[in-house]
Every structure is written in C-alpha cells, then in structure tokens.
C-alpha cells in the first residue's frame, strides 16, 4: 500500500502505508522518544496532530491494554522510518499494524524521517495530509492548506469526558505492569486518603495512577465544570490535566481557576500549567516546533538539579508576562529557556509544563505528585 505525505508548503514525502487505509490530516509534529509509541498514540494531547517518530524502528514490541493512556488513539496519523510487521515482546497482545488499523490510524513508513524532522525544525510545524488513496499531490497540498490551524482552537472540550466519574485504580483496565515507585504504594496504604478532583482536558491514565499511588481518591470532571461545582465536591485538592490545542480559547477553565485560587490547593501540568499562567494574568504563545519527547533537560531553580523530563506541548507561558512579585518561576528548559514551572508565593498553587507522570519514563519528576499531597496536607492542617 503506497502512501503520501503532503505538507502545506508543498513538500512531498512518498512511502509505504500501514495501519488504516484512507486519508487523514492534521498538524505535523515530531517526537524524539525512543520508546512509548503506544502511550504517544493514545495521549489525548495529540488530538488534531500527525506524529513523526525519530526512533528508526517502531512497532517491534507490539501493543497491550496496560500501556494505553486513554481508551483509543488520538493521533491523526503516524510517520516512521521502519514499521515492524511483527511484535517480539512477552507483554504484546496485538501487532502494532493491526492495532493502528483497528483504530483507523494511518501509518506512513519507509520515508526519510530525518529529512522530514529537519524540515519541521527549520520551518516550524505545519499542516499536512497522509493519503493512500489520492495520488495528485497538488490536491493533497491544497487540502493541507485548508486544514484549520491549531492557533485559536479549543480541543480540550472535544476530548474531555462528558460526565463525572471516579477513577478505580483496582480496575484491571486501569493497572499498569510497570511497578513505579514501590514506596508510593506503602505511603498510600499508611496514610489517609485525600480527595482530588481532576479536570479532564485530555487526562492520561498514568496521571490518575500516580495520584492514587500518593494516597488520593480521584474524581474526574469535564473540562467545563465550574469552580463552584468542583468545590461542592469538597476536594482536598484540584488537579488540572494536560490537553490539546490552544490554551487561550479555554477561557471557561481560566475563570474556574481564578475562582478556586486560595480556596483549595491546585496542581496543573501541561495545558493545566498554561491555564494557570493565564489565570495569573500571564500570556501564552506558540512554539516554533513544540516540545515532544522523553529527553528534555529541565532545571529546578530551587534545588539547582537538572531533571530529564517528558514533554508534549506546542504552547508555552511567556515568563515576562508573569508578575514576579506574586509568582515564582520554578523550572526552566535548558534547551531553549522555555518556562517549565511556576508556583504562587502565597497561595497553594503550582504547575509544570512538562509531564511528571511520564509513561514510560523518565521518572525524575515523580516527586511533584508527593509535593502536591504535602501541599494538601498542610492546607488541611
């Protein structure tokens, strides 16, 4: 099955098609992670995007239910150098090609992904179309140029849960084979459960697992839930999740955060961090090609330590727009000096731009979930 990628600037890549036949479109971004292709595919933060993976071979360890970050893949398409037709791993339950076909995700392989990534790094992320049916490249380029831009697009309400639910860590569907931080399990058993209300802007399963491992009972609410409705659930803390799209149109969440600040401890990551920045009077902007990968060095300004972290974001908070008298800038990306964390100096609120839950890794930043629990305990005390 032949497949074509057409970018909005007219650049064409031809290769071999796998997964679902047909056509898909979205913003083309690249991810530098060496493993975790299933977690990437099922991360709702990738809604509306086609993902290029820089690791040369993808699919070789198959797929399994435990590694899903949500119920289904959210990527619009996958682009790789070599796509393995077989899986060789004792945990594999389904060959990756069959998995992608099952969920209607097209895969483009056998192209020079180095050239594509270099093109995106030089020119910035751009809209593109993958097709196994249309051969006229002019038609495909025109379709790419007609795709709605990510700027100004609210996707959080699209991927969010439609109803409130309680996360059940004992449900086999919500368990992972990776026994992360065994001391966290002991901590959870020996401590009183704290009630966390988690906003779902595109929340990942491993975030929910990490919260429960820190002794939290988690209630998940839709993105548009008001502050009063959340406070009516009597939480010990509120978590703001990751999610796709531009943070600025998510004004309903910004209003909710402002109404909760100082009334309950708040912890946000990724989109949740950007929304905290907006709620504190800051501004956000779009990065040239975003941060997507599991190897970003982030400096903790308080300790001086450098954490290797997982990222998936296209937008960032402008540090110059934050009031330094009220807010401490806690983390910075050492690759490009992007703001990666903030903490209010007097109110119980902190957030980070990267993903401390990081499935499948790295695990350097897991301590942030414990910091959140400590903040809730101090607020209660």
- Of 274, 219, 220, the C-alpha closest to 250 is 274
Backbone angles phi, psi at 197, to 5 degrees: -100, 120
- Rounded Cα distance, 292 and 127, in Å: 17
Give yes or no: 216 in active site. no
Token pair for residue 326?
């009220």
- Reading the block at residue 216, the tokens are 């939290």
Q: For the stretch 198-224, what's the b/e string if a residue is b when 16 or more beta carbons lie within 10 angstroms of its beta carbon?
A: bbbbbbbbbbbbbbbbbbbbbbbbbbe
Answer for the pair 109, 37: CB distance below 8 angstroms, yes or no: no
- The question of whether 187 is a catalytic residue gets the answer no
Is 82 catalytic? The answer is no
Q: Closest Cα partner for 273 from 330, 215, 208, 219?
A: 330
Beta carbons of 91 and 66 less than 8 angstroms apart? yes
Q: Whose structure tokens read 């993105």? A: 223
Q: Residue with structure tokens 């990510």?
A: 150
Question: What is the per-residue DSSP string for 119-166?
Answer: HHHHH--EEEEEESS---HHHHHHHHHHSPPSTT-B-HHHHS-SS-EE
Catalytic residue among 27, 270, 331, 366: 270
Q: Which candidate in 119, 357, 363, 366 is catalytic?
A: 357
197, 221 contact by CB (below 8 A): yes
Tokens at 189, concatenated: 């058993």
Instruction: Considering the candidates 292, 355, 363, 366, report the single residue annotated as catalytic.
Output: 355
> Which tokens belong to 139?
């038609």
Select from 69, 77, 80 the least CA-distant residue to 44: 69
> How would you classify the pairing of strands 12-19 and 2-7?
antiparallel
Cβ atoms within 10 Å, residue 95: 16
Q: H helices within the chain, ranges in order?
A: 37-41, 96-102, 113-123, 137-146, 156-159, 182-190, 205-213, 227-231, 251-260, 271-279, 367-380
Task: Tell me the catalytic residues.
Answer: 270, 355, 357
């Amino acid at each position: 099955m032949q497949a074509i990628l057409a970018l909005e600037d007219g650049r064409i890549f031809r290769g071999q098609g796998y997964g679902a036949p047909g056509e898909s479109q979205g913003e083309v971004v690249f991810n530098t992670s060496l493993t975790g292709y299933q977690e990437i595919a099922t991360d709702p933060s990738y809604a509306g995007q086609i993902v290029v993976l820089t690791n040369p071979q993808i699919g070789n360890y198959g797929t399994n239910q435990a590694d899903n970050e949500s119920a289904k893949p959210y990527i619009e398409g996958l682009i790789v150098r070599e796509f393995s037709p077989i899986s060789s791993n004792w945990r594999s339950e389904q060959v990756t090609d069959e998995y992608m076909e099952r969920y209607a995700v097209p895969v483009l392989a056998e192209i020079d992904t180095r050239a594509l990534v270099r093109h995106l790094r030089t020119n910035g992320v751009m809209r593109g179309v993958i097709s196994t049916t249309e051969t006229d490249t002019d038609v495909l380029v025109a379709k790419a140029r007609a795709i709605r831009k990510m700027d100004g697009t609210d996707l959080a309400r699209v991927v969010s849960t439609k109803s409130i639910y309680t996360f059940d860590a004992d449900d086999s569907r919500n368990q992972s084979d990776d026994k992360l931080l065994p001391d966290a399990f002991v901590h959870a058993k020996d401590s009183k459960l704290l009630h966390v209300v988690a906003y779902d802007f595109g929340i990942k399963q491993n975030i929910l697992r990490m919260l429960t491992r820190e002794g939290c009972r988690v209630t998940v609410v839709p993105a548009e839930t008001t502050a009063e409705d959340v406070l009516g659930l009597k939480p010990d803390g509120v978590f703001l999740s990751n999610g796709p799209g531009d943070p600025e149109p998510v004004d309903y969440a910004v209003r909710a955060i402002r109404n909760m600040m100082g009334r309950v401890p708040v912890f946000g990551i990724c989109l949740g961090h950007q929304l905290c920045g907006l709620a504190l009077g800051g501004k956000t902007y779009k990065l040239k090609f975003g941060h997507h990968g599991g190897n970003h060095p982030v400096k903790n300004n308080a300790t001086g330590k450098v954490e290797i972290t997982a990222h998936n974001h296209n937008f960032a908070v402008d540090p110059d727009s934050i009031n330094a008298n009220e807010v401490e800038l806690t983390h910075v990306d050492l690759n490009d000096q992007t703001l990666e964390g903030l903490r209010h100096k007097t109110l119980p609120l902190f957030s980070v731009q990267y993903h401390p839950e990081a499935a499948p890794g790295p695990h350097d930043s897991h301590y942030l979930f414990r910091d959140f629990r400590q903040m809730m305990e101090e607020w209660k005390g």
